[in-house]
Chains A and B, each alone.
Chain A
Amino acid sequence: MTTSPLLDATGVAKNYGAVAALRNASLSVLPGEVHALMGANGAGKSTLVKILTGAIHADAGRVLIRGETRDIRSPAAARRAGLLPVYQEPSLIPDLDVLSNLRLTGTPVEPFRAWVRELGIPDLDLRDTARDIPLAVLRVLDLARALAVEPDVLLLDEMTAALPANLAEKVLEVVRRQGDSGRSVIFISHRFVEISALCDRATVLRDGETVGVVDIVPGVEEKIVELMLGARIVKTKMAARPTGQAASTAASRPRLSVRNLRVGTKLNDVSFDLANGEVVGVVALEGQGQDELFAALAGSIRPSGGTIEVDGQGVKFTHPSDAIRAGIAYVPGDRTEALAMQRSVHENIALPFSAALRKWGPIRVHKERTVVASAIARLQIDTRAQGEVQRLSGGNQQKVTIARWIAANARTILCFDPTRGIDVGTKQEIYKLLRELAGLDKSVLFYTSELEEVQRVCDRVIVIFGGQVVDIFPVEEADEPALMRAAYGLPRGVTADVGILADPTSHPSQTPEAAP
């Protein structure tokens, strides 16, 4: 290559006590390049981004910017050097309004406004307090704030993970144009579609080390996966759905039956059934009421109308513990909402055991240890840093949130975007797990922001738009274009004229290929 790199990091290492987050990472980004940073959960991607942007200090390593050694000691210094990150977690100040947030970082307002519009949010009020803005929008604002100062290198850590498809689309578009205009982007994502659509090259990390740099060409995905996982080959092909077993569900009573559910103004009229042994997908654009649906089913908020029946019995949840008693567990998409970050993996998994008043007494240590250990094994949680959950990587934290309910043996699991920010290997494990749960006659309600997941996991899909169920697909008709159209509230094409209560048992024998 003739051009010299804009950013060149070599031999970066970072230890957290006994855990080596990075051991020997290197990354070289050319001007005008969209460069993917890839790796399994816990490979050290976020850590590298934090080091490059001065949020933490490396133990070793050298960073050159335009050929000059720069010691980036603080985010402000990184900003001056032209490096701007969008971290995995939103970094707007929650109690300040957007305008003040802009002033704080010295971001020019007009360009910011333009970018926000460009990124698909036309009606942002700059006087809104950040705390009141939904997560997905916050991520976009973070990005717009970075774009507004026209950075030389933009570092996006799983920018698209929490975004609904429509917003993600816009982000990709904008990022692509960054590359075209001579600026570089470091792009972290677990979604291969995005990588291949967007990136020029990819650096692959494994266990804190750079194990390869590849050009993105068609078909390179296999190689990347190989590099990413090393010896840990993707052995988990999609488990075939046993057809016979699901058949019984149609006959019996539904596990969960929702009728005309309303929550405030967000959720207007939702009705559907969830059978035993069934995985029902929920597809919706950002903010169509899916959050409220899940929260209401989890007992987290009170619905303002409609009925919920569990096993044919009408229920009213006033607190999540009511839902849990009815066997319904909720896995929120935002893991900071679900985990006690300073506590151990073990305690986090065992937390529901002690919740009820009658379980406040002595803990049956041995029994508990067995249950927890088996849940950890089941989800293959990387327990190197298990003393405190906050030291786990994002993906492993996500697994803990699910493991908790596996251990508690919940009959119905409400998964809100459980694969958000999870690497391909782990995603497969989670798909498999959900199918296994279904096999054990448990039922799963599964919201996902990645449409392709629907095909892999669900028996049926309900599409929510404007707080209403606009369509229900059997899985075999739920291809991405159809789902997308429905999610935007467009009527279904003539070809897909199947009854709403299509028989979910008539599965095609075809199973989608494992990723990539």
Chain B
Amino acid sequence: SAEGKYTIGISNTVQGNGWREEMICAMKAQALASGEVTKLNIAHRNTDAAGQLEDIRNLISAKVNAIVVNPADPAGIKAGLEEATKAGIVVVAVDQAVTEPSAYIISNNQEQYAYLGAKWLFQQMGGKGEVFYMRGAAGASADSDRDKGFKKALAEFPDVKVAQEVFTGWQQDQGKQQILSFLATGAPFNGIWTSGIDNVIVDALVESQAPLVPVVGADNAGFVGQLSSVKGLVGAAVTNPGSIGGAGVTLALQILNGKKPAQQTVLVEPQLWENATEEGKAKLKAAADPSLSPEWPVSISIPDWTTYTKEQIVACKGPGE
């Protein structure tokens, strides 16, 4: 409604990954759509917590009004966020929680993400059998949160065993090589849980004419498409929207405008879209979007939180660009 009056700083520490790229584009699109942002100040590169501290402090130097951050580590950037709050800057963490109490958090619930998918998978497997557990990057906090959720589901199904646990490093080639090696061993398995490296896994199963066991992945465009198009594939996509970045910008603007949320933490609960039931199929159909890059999550908007159009997020233009 008003012309832009705020500058917002953004800090992100993983570059070149479809999910994170979508998150950045959502932030830009939302900032543009809101009409309240004059300028986005984006620090977006591959680095660690110390590097993110540097970026946050640079953003403080740049005197932004709010910082939206996808933390490299929940605890590791506490000092920087604290300094930001002291400088009167609104801090919103997206995607993962942070330990700094003054920061607001709007996040996908990673533990729930894993729990939901794993539980569905184990049910599909009939409550027993061997599961191939393909995790993310060893040592990443999102990975260890998801591990908690996975273990929680596993505990509920005592007859399900982990046939093999691997770290894909969230890298497509590594995931594909691992599944192919695993397939080549001829070891029996009844389901695959992946931490978001999903479409290459289905490819591998199809290429090597292996039995199509149930597969759980994320809502990446490629995988969602496969769930509708690959014959005989049973699987589920658990949403992990990259558009959470747009929600973060919205939250920051709300706070700047004096509308503080009731709690510091707002969790966006994941949804599960499966293709085992007609109802699920319909959801998948609705969500599928072949025009997107296969690495992009299809859930490009979050109701109530984002107001941009698909064109806007795909254009990936922020205010003033």
Task: Tell whether any CB of A sits under 8 Å from a CB of B in the complex.
Answer: no
Interface residues of B (CB under 8 A from A): none
Interface residues of A (CB under 8 A from B): none
